[in-house]
Amino acid sequence: MSTRTEIASLGEFGLIEHLTRNNETLHASTIVSVGDDAAVLDHFGRQVVVTSDLLIEGVHFDLVYTPLTHLGYKSVIVNLSDIYAMNASPTQIILGIGISNRFSVEAMEEFYEGVYAACQKYNVDLVGGDTSTSNKGFIISVTAIGEVAPDQFVKRDGAQKGDLVCVSGDLGAAYLGLLLMEREKKIFLESPAVQPDMEGQDYILRRLLKPEARRDIISFLEESNIIPTSMMDISDGLSSDLLHICKQSNKGCVLYEDKIPVAEPTREFAFKLDMDPTACALSGGEDYELLFTIKQEDYDKLVFNEQISVIGYITEPEEGCHIITRSNNKHPLTAQGWNAFG
């Protein structure tokens, strides 16, 4: 091979798009393929949803401050979240792990304790396991399987002009939890005698270390007879993920800064670090909240649900993607938050 193109030049999403650009679908049973939170397969008229995620030590988690039980729990949650994001219910998981001899059987027991806790809480079965050696580090692969009533699944590409942009829970907490842990890790490595200062930070730490998947929102939508026009879970950050929905739906959007839900402990810790809480909510990942769009006529059905915020609306693609700040300025939305904050 004569040329070398750096992967960084395409980015993660660009790479997947590039590599799957000629991907053809052979099976009539393949309903939703590459490019969404999960795949949807038709098995004899009933629909199965499948997703898989890889978690790599040093990339996705740091064992210096991640208890193994929490890691096991979170590994399951991030996959269940992808199933819920299709408007489906998870039923089973398969777990593959690669571990070096640095880990003991007791360590693996702790990890599995978290896995089982998540399985129990979300009512899913662990149905397969594969353990192998790794030369270095801990590698986790989780596949989640779910079911959805025929054609009730929700993709990323269905947002329509005038739809309302909604988000569950609050944003930015996991990212600030990560900054807190990175700060404490640095202090610890420099001066091991110093006691970590994490008082009052339970909320952002829990959001980082023990996230939950929003099964309650999916149940609420079902009970309220709302089928979102598009949906995904927020793993990369609100901006980046909303841009995915707009791109895949071929639409634009307007977002209101003052509508973006940020919890009080998140706001406080952001100020402590001299950071803007909105920027954290827009760019911080790993919240595992649901981001979805609904028809305007469904607004009345969810207005009283305090776990759901309406944060903007969908426009024609020519209008682009923008955020209206508290000071009533309009800025283009970018994957990193917004371009110029001035």
Site for a second copy in 13-72 (CB under 8 A): 15-16, 18-20, 22-27, 29-30, 32-34, 38-39, 41, 43-44, 46, 48, 50-54, 56, 58-60
| Rounded-to-integer distance, Cα 258 and Cα 243, Å | 19
Helix (H) / strand (E) element for 139: namely strand 139-148
Chosen residue from 76, 77, 83, 99 binding a second copy by CB under 8 A: 99
Q: How far is the CB of 61 from a second copy (least distance, A)?
A: 12
| Rounded-to-integer distance, Cα 294 and Cα 231, Å | 9
Q: Which is nearer to a second copy, 107 or 324 (CB)?
A: 107
Of the candidates 180, 175, 171, 170, the one whose C-alpha atom is nearest the C-alpha of residue 201 is 180
Q: How far is the CB of 68 from a second copy (least distance, A)?
A: 10
| Rounded-to-integer distance, Cα 183 and Cα 197, Å | 10
Q: How far is the CB of 189 from a second copy (least distance, A)?
A: 18
SS3 89: strand
Q: What sign results for the dihedral spanned by CA atoms 276, 304, 153, 317?
A: negative
Q: How far is the CB of 241 from a second copy (least distance, A)?
A: 15
Q: Which of residues 103-122 bind a second copy (CB under 8 A)?
A: 103-110, 112, 116, 119-120
Q: Which is nearer to a second copy, 51 or 278 (CB)?
A: 51
Of the candidates 75, 77, 284, the one whose C-alpha atom is nearest the C-alpha of residue 182 is 284
| Rounded-to-integer distance, Cα 340 and Cα 330, Å | 10
Q: What count of residues does the chain have?
A: 342
Q: Which is nearer to a second copy, 57 or 184 (CB)?
A: 57
Q: How far is the CB of 207 from a second copy (least distance, A)?
A: 21
Q: Which of residues 208-237 bind a second copy (CB under 8 A)?
A: none
Chosen residue from 77, 88, 145, 171 binding a second copy by CB under 8 A: 145
Q: Which is nearer to a second copy, 131 or 219 (CB)?
A: 131
Work out whether 5 is an interface residue with a second copy (CB under 8 A).
Answer: yes
Other beta carbons less than 10 A from residue 179's beta carbon? 17
Q: Which is nearer to a second copy, 19 or 194 (CB)?
A: 19
| Rounded-to-integer distance, Cα 292 and Cα 234, Å | 10
Of the candidates 312, 320, 333, the one whose C-alpha atom is nearest the C-alpha of residue 164 is 312
Work out whether 335 is an interface residue with a second copy (CB under 8 A).
Answer: no
Work out whether 193 is an interface residue with a second copy (CB under 8 A).
Answer: no
Work out whether 182 is an interface residue with a second copy (CB under 8 A).
Answer: no
Q: Which of residues 125-144 bind a second copy (CB under 8 A)?
A: 125-137, 139, 141, 143
Give the count of residues interacting with a second copy (CB under 8 A).
82
Work out whether 96 is an interface residue with a second copy (CB under 8 A).
Answer: yes
The residue type found at 93 is I
Q: Which is nearer to a second copy, 108 or 310 (CB)?
A: 108
SS3 292: strand
Q: How far is the CB of 234 from a second copy (least distance, A)?
A: 16
Of the candidates 166, 124, 96, the one whose C-alpha atom is nearest the C-alpha of residue 313 is 166
